[in-house]
Amino acid sequence: MPDLRPGAAVLLVEDDVATRREVAAFLRGHGFRVDEADDGATAWERWTAGRPDVVVLDLGLPDIDGSVLIRRLRRDATTPILVLSARDREGDKVAALESGADDYVTKPFGAAELLARVRALLRRAAGPAAAPDGEVLVGSLRMDVPRHEVTVDGQPVRLTPREFEVLKVLLGSAGRLVTRGRLLRAVWGTAYSDETHYLHVYVSQIRRKIAAVDPAGELADLIVAEPGVGYRVRVPDSERS
């Protein structure tokens, strides 16, 4: 199981030498063990040899497109994959995420943001949000999956069955970006993968109902929208490693 403490292994796949060196040095400075690759073939060799805890990769590799490598990695394992790319179009982001990437950061990016995203992926891979008894905890919000109950500081949040399912999928990927298509397929089925207006309505209702029992507004930005791409449950700072 990946370790959230310093020492987790990162495979960094980036063909730009300056960027790769800068990112590698930054991550090593925070205690991570970093293996580097500058193309898809080398990345696969390093992956096979080392089995890292998280993969950070650029899409624009010299030998193959990064999305091809993502699909190959995803067939082999569930290791978290963070994309770093200068491609900022919504379509590119969605394509990478649908290929199996867990998160996407657009260049140029801040070092603090990169570190936070890597740590969030490692937390998610370790499964800290879900307790053995089927409870999911994020900040003051508690979801009891078997009982279909949601509370905030002990106060019940009255969700419809569909609202509950939407929130369950998002909480199950806390800290990770969930594409609109993936969320729609998980809750409504494949026939509804293009009905994105459903999500706006249901997420708005979930936010409103949570706000009604959260007068201090601690969970006001629990569900963050990334326009044109999807939604992310924000993990409170107090739960970050």
pLDDT digits (tens, 9 = 90+) for 140-162: 999 987 678 999 999 999 998 88
Q: Is the pLDDT of residue 241 over 90?
A: no
In this predicted structure, what is the pLDDT of residue 238?
53
- The total domain count for the chain is 2
pTM greater than 0.75 = no
pLDDT reading at 128 higher than 80: no
Nearest to 131 by CA among 161, 174, 184: 174
Domain interval for residue 195: 135-239
The count of other CB atoms within 10 Å of the CB of residue 45 is 11
Amino acid sitting at position 55 = V
Asked, for residue 169, whether it belongs to a domain, the answer is yes
pLDDT tier, 81 (very low <50, low <70, confident <90, very high otherwise) = very high
Average pLDDT of span 55-74: 91
Same domain, 142 and 68: no
User: Mean of the pLDDT values across residues 193-211?
Assistant: 90
pLDDT top residue among 236 and 103 = 103
Q: What's the confidence (pLDDT) of residue 125?
A: 66
The domain boundary residue, chosen from 105, 126, 147: 126
Q: Is 196 among the domain residues?
A: yes
Q: What is the mean pLDDT of residues 86-90?
A: 79
* Domain assignment present for 3: no
Give yes or no for a contact between 124 and 175, defined as CB atoms under 8 angstroms apart. Answer: yes
Same domain, 15 and 119: yes
* Residue 2 counted as domain residue: no
- If asked whether residues 150 and 116 sit together in one domain, one would say no
Question: What is the predicted pLDDT for the residue at 239?
Answer: 53
pLDDT computed for residue 134 by the predictor: 61
Same domain flag for 115 and 143: no
Instruction: Show the tokens assigned to 53.
Output: 């805890």
Look at the chain and count its residues.
Answer: 241
Using CA atoms, how far apart are residues 62 and 60, in angstroms rounded to an integer? Answer: 7
Residue 191 belongs to a domain:
yes
Residue 90 sits in the same domain as residue 181: no
> Which of 49-53, 87-91, 95-99 has the lowest average pLDDT?
87-91
- Residue 205 has a pLDDT of 95
**29 Cβ partners below 8 Å, 6+ apart?**
none
Residues 120, 197: one domain? no
Q: Which segment of 95-99, 106-110, 123-127 scores lowest on mean pLDDT?
A: 123-127
Residues 99 and 176 grouped into a single domain: no
Lowest mean pLDDT among 9-23, 127-141, 164-178: 127-141
Among the candidates 126, 155, 171, a domain finishes at: 126
> Would 32 be classed as within a structural domain?
yes
pLDDT score of 189 more than 60: yes
Q: List the CATH number of the domain containing 49.
A: 3.40.50.2300
Query: Given this model, what pLDDT does residue 167 score?
Result: 93
Q: Which two tokens stand for residue 112?
A: 């603090």
Flag whether pLDDT at 32 surpasses 80. Answer: yes
Query: Domain end: 78, 97, 126, which one?
Result: 126
**Per the domain annotation, does 1 fall within a domain?**
no
Residue 46 C-alpha from the chain's centroid: 23
Q: In terms of domains, do 122 and 150 share one?
A: no
- Do residue 107 and residue 18 come from a single domain? yes
Does residue 206 have a pLDDT over 70?
A: yes
Residues 160 and 73 in one domain: no
Q: In the predicted model, is pLDDT for residue 130 greater than 50?
A: no
Which CATH number is 182's domain given? 1.10.10.10
**Claim to verify: residue 61 and residue 114 sit in the same structural domain:** yes
**Is residue 4 in some structural domain?**
no
Average model confidence (pLDDT) across the chain: 85
Examine the domain organization and report whether 178 and 142 are in the same domain: yes
Asked whether residue 191 carries a pLDDT value surpassing 80, the answer given is no
